[in-house]
Chain A
Amino acid sequence: MEKKQSLTRDREKALKGFAMSMDGRLLAHLNSCVHCGLCAESCHYYLSTGEEKYMPARKVDQLARIYRRYHTVAGKIFPRWIGASDFNDQSIQEMVDVLFGGCTMCGRCSLHCSIGVDIPFLVRTARSMLVELGRVSPGLQSTVDAAVQTGNNMAIPREELVDTLQWLEEDLRMEVNDEKASIPMDVPHCRLLYTLNPREPKFFPLSISAMAKIFYAADESWTLSTHCYDVTNYAYYSGDDHTAEELTQRLFDEMIKLNAQELVLAECGHGSRAIRWEGPRWLKKKFPFPVISVIELIAGYIHSGRIAVDPSKNTTPVTLHDPCNLVRAGGVIEEQRYVLKKVVSDFREMTPNRENNYCCGGGGGQLSMGEYRERRVAAGKIKADQIKKTGAAIVATPCHNCIDQLMELNKEYSLGVEIKTVGELVADALIL
């Protein structure tokens, strides 16, 4: 039996947490990879760089080798034979480098895995172990901390948000020429509570205006909360379940406090996933209200005739980038296509698309991890090439994280395109 290296207290704690999280799903995925390596070409990091460390199967092994060492008989007796490894400085450093710095948890590899190994699930489990060691990338951790401490990940003071919303409201009134047009704040008993990505009030207020205009056209009963509105949950990316639960609970409590009927998630891929699909697991309860993406809401408005749109108002060729967390991991696949086909006259699909689409490179918390910027931009080349091939002049995407990455790719690869939210295109096509 090969003797295990001694463990520090925090490593013991991380391994204990790993053991505690080992449910049937984790066991199945940890034991299934056959190292066929066919997943390599599904990963935008591997495709862009050709570096073997980015092969998804290698990422699986970052965690599986620890599992084999501490949880299998063979791994305890002859670890080298089955590729088991101690939880030591080297394995931890490799985990940090590849699982934080070389993976967006986009899940494209899992979709095409010969076996069906849920690779982002394993990557996130490994990230959770790194949380215990305090090895989360500083940029990502500070984003999580800002959300916990200030209520939003960009640390926007409430007064600043209110000011922004007030001037946006004035603009809306002028645009629609109606003094009654509004951006409601903290109004109880509305039908919808609408969330925001803090990037919107900070950098992209026009996307808030666009949604306000759509709600106005639909004569919707809606409100924003100025206390708790952040749709993002970067603790999902860092692997910190405890904090992820806390952030979800705040939004849940705000819904109850304002007594809204439906929670509408802004155009944010990971936020939509975190709240709708992971949130109930973190809170260990069903939400007593429906949770939907704003894209589903807009599609419903158009389908039911609640808003009227004219595609001839958007004649520039438009393509669509599918955010991984909204599409592949969220099932909002056709709605944005339905909407775009109604509001633009020249819609062009990327290839591949829908659940097979490539990640833009901005997911997994990468945008907040400055130390991996070069890799992130290099990994985005696949997306840049996809965009170029469409010949479109506008890239629409229902995700503010993706928008940031696409804007950077736009500059880096000289794409010469405009990046917009779906809501902005809808607002431009509205018939009022």
Chain B
Amino acid sequence: MAESMNAARIVFLSGLGVFLLSAVYQWIRVFINANTEDFTQPKGTVLPAFAYALTGAMMPHKKETAFLHLPTYWMGIAYHLGSFVALAWLPVHFFEWRIPDSIMIVCAAVLIPSVFSGLIILIKRISVSSLRHLSSPDDYFSNALVTLFQAISSMALLGIIPVFLVLSIGGLLLMYIPVGKLRHVIFFLIARFFLSWFYGRRGVWPPKRRILWKKNNH
């Protein structure tokens, strides 16, 4: 068991290393080439737009993609929440910290709907023609890998399977993130920031529903 755990630790550390190196490399690329010099006469500001992009603009009543697809939206929220919970447990498993059983049971309870969400999202991708049209093998594999990781994490928290499996799968997942669409983990906030830059400078985000007369008064 100790040998398996040590091997799992190596897999995890390798995955973490690949992920961090890739993420840092991509972030440096983006920031070096950020090209944020903007000569336009602004109608609004970026930071409130960014705050709105991460809050109000994500709410189901504001986002059409959410309110038209509420079950998928909530499954997506559960799925991402589960991913973060499972990832947060990796260092705990790595260092074999002792955590109260109650917390482990709560986290396992969070992961169960998340796993089911992942499975339903995967089934949807396989069965819905428009999603199949969009998908490459990576889309299915990424979905399956994350769901498997969550399932194994929840089982480990409930003591059904040994934790070295979680560390191993977690390491492989981290290693795979830079390869396919999971790399959106690295770019999500940056993409949202650039979109906020666009809408913020132009006064579209956050929605004001009023006119700033000082600038426009003639």
CB of A306 closer than 8 Å to a CB of B: yes
- Which 3 A-B pairs have CB atoms at the shortest separation, nearest pair first? A83-B136, A331-B203, A280-B39
Bound Cα distance A58, B35 (Å): 27
Given A35-B139, A292-B216, decide whether A355 and B179 contact each other with a Cβ distance below 8 A.
no
Chain A residues contacting B217 (CB-CB under 8 Å) are 300, 303-304
Using a CB-CB cutoff of 8 Å, which residues 14-38 of chain A contact chain B? 22-25, 27-29, 31-38
Given A31-B26, A296-B216, A331-B202, decide whether A110 and B195 contact each other with a Cβ distance below 8 A.
yes
CB of A256 closer than 8 Å to a CB of B: no
Is B195 a contact partner of A23 (Cβ separation < 8 A)?
no
Using a CB-CB cutoff of 8 Å, which residues 131-189 of chain B contact chain A? 131, 133-139, 141, 179-181, 183-184, 186-188
Given A42-B65, A112-B65, decide whether A81 and B29 contact each other with a Cβ distance below 8 A.
no
Chain A residues contacting B192 (CB-CB under 8 Å) are 115-116
CB of A169 closer than 8 Å to a CB of B: no
Given A23-B33, A55-B130, decide whether A32 and B138 contact each other with a Cβ distance below 8 A.
no
Interface residue tally of chain A, by bracket? 35 or more
Closest chain A CB from B194 CB (angstroms): 5
Is B188 a contact partner of A115 (Cβ separation < 8 A)?
yes
Is B187 a contact partner of A28 (Cβ separation < 8 A)?
yes
Q: Please report whether the interface of chain B is mostly helix, strand, loop or mixed according to DSSP.
A: helix
CB of A3 closer than 8 Å to a CB of B: no
Count chain B CB atoms within 10 A of each CB in A33, A112, A338 and give the residue with the most. A112
Closest chain B CB from A112 CB (angstroms): 4
Residue from A37, A55, A117, A306 in contact with B191 in the complex, judged by beta carbons closer than 8 Å: A117
Which of A90-98, A149-157, A282-290, A312-320 has 4 or more CB atoms under 8 Å from chain B? A282-290
Count chain A CB atoms within 10 A of each CB in B30, B44, B66, B216 and give the residue with the most. B216
Residue from A58, A82, A277, A285 in contact with B134 in the complex, judged by beta carbons closer than 8 Å: A58
Interface string of A335-379 (1 = CB under 8 A from B): 100100000000000001011100000000000000000000000
Is A81 a contact partner of B138 (Cβ separation < 8 A)?
yes
Interface string of A49-82 (1 = CB under 8 A from B): 0001001011001000000000000100000111
Bound Cα distance A268, B35 (Å): 28
Is B134 a contact partner of A280 (Cβ separation < 8 A)?
no
Interface string of A86-107 (1 = CB under 8 A from B): 0000000000000000000000
Is A335 a contact partner of B64 (Cβ separation < 8 A)?
no
Residue from B34, B129, B136, B211 in contact with A81 in the complex, judged by beta carbons closer than 8 Å: B136
CB of A113 closer than 8 Å to a CB of B: yes
Chain B residues contacting A24 (CB-CB under 8 Å) are 29-36, 190, 194
Bound Cα distance A335, B212 (Å): 10
Interface residue tally of chain B, by bracket? 35 or more
Closest chain A CB from B182 CB (angstroms): 8
CB of A183 closer than 8 Å to a CB of B: no
CB of A329 closer than 8 Å to a CB of B: yes
Given A22-B33, A41-B68, decide whether A116 and B40 contact each other with a Cβ distance below 8 A.
no
Give me 21 A-to-B residue pairs in the complex whose CB atoms sit less than 8 angstroms apart, sorted by A's number: A23-B33, A24-B30, A24-B35, A24-B190, A25-B35, A31-B184, A32-B188, A35-B139, A36-B65, A38-B68, A38-B72, A114-B63, A115-B188, A118-B195, A284-B39, A286-B41, A291-B41, A300-B213, A333-B204, A338-B211, A355-B204
Chain A residues contacting B135 (CB-CB under 8 Å) are 35, 83
Is B213 a contact partner of A113 (Cβ separation < 8 A)?
no
Chain A residues contacting B136 (CB-CB under 8 Å) are 80-83
Closest chain B CB from A277 CB (angstroms): 6
Is A300 a contact partner of B134 (Cβ separation < 8 A)?
no
Is A331 a contact partner of B130 (Cβ separation < 8 A)?
no
Is B204 a contact partner of A328 (Cβ separation < 8 A)?
yes
Given A29-B194, A331-B202, decide whether A38 and B65 contact each other with a Cβ distance below 8 A.
yes
Closest chain A CB from B156 CB (angstroms): 27
Bound Cα distance A82, B183 (Å): 12
Closest chain B CB from A80 CB (angstroms): 7
Chain B residues contacting A431 (CB-CB under 8 Å) are none
Specify the chain B residue showing the minimal Cβ separation from A32: B191
Is B29 a contact partner of A27 (Cβ separation < 8 A)?
yes
Bound Cα distance A115, B191 (Å): 7
Is A40 a contact partner of B130 (Cβ separation < 8 A)?
yes
CB of A160 closer than 8 Å to a CB of B: no
Is A27 a contact partner of B65 (Cβ separation < 8 A)?
no
Is B218 a contact partner of A286 (Cβ separation < 8 A)?
no
Chain A residues contacting B65 (CB-CB under 8 Å) are 36, 38-39, 41-42, 112-114
Is B134 a contact partner of A354 (Cβ separation < 8 A)?
no
Given A116-B191, A277-B40, A299-B211, decide whether A33 and B184 contact each other with a Cβ distance below 8 A.
yes
Chain B residues contacting A113 (CB-CB under 8 Å) are 65
CB of A334 closer than 8 Å to a CB of B: yes
Bound Cα distance A299, B72 (Å): 42
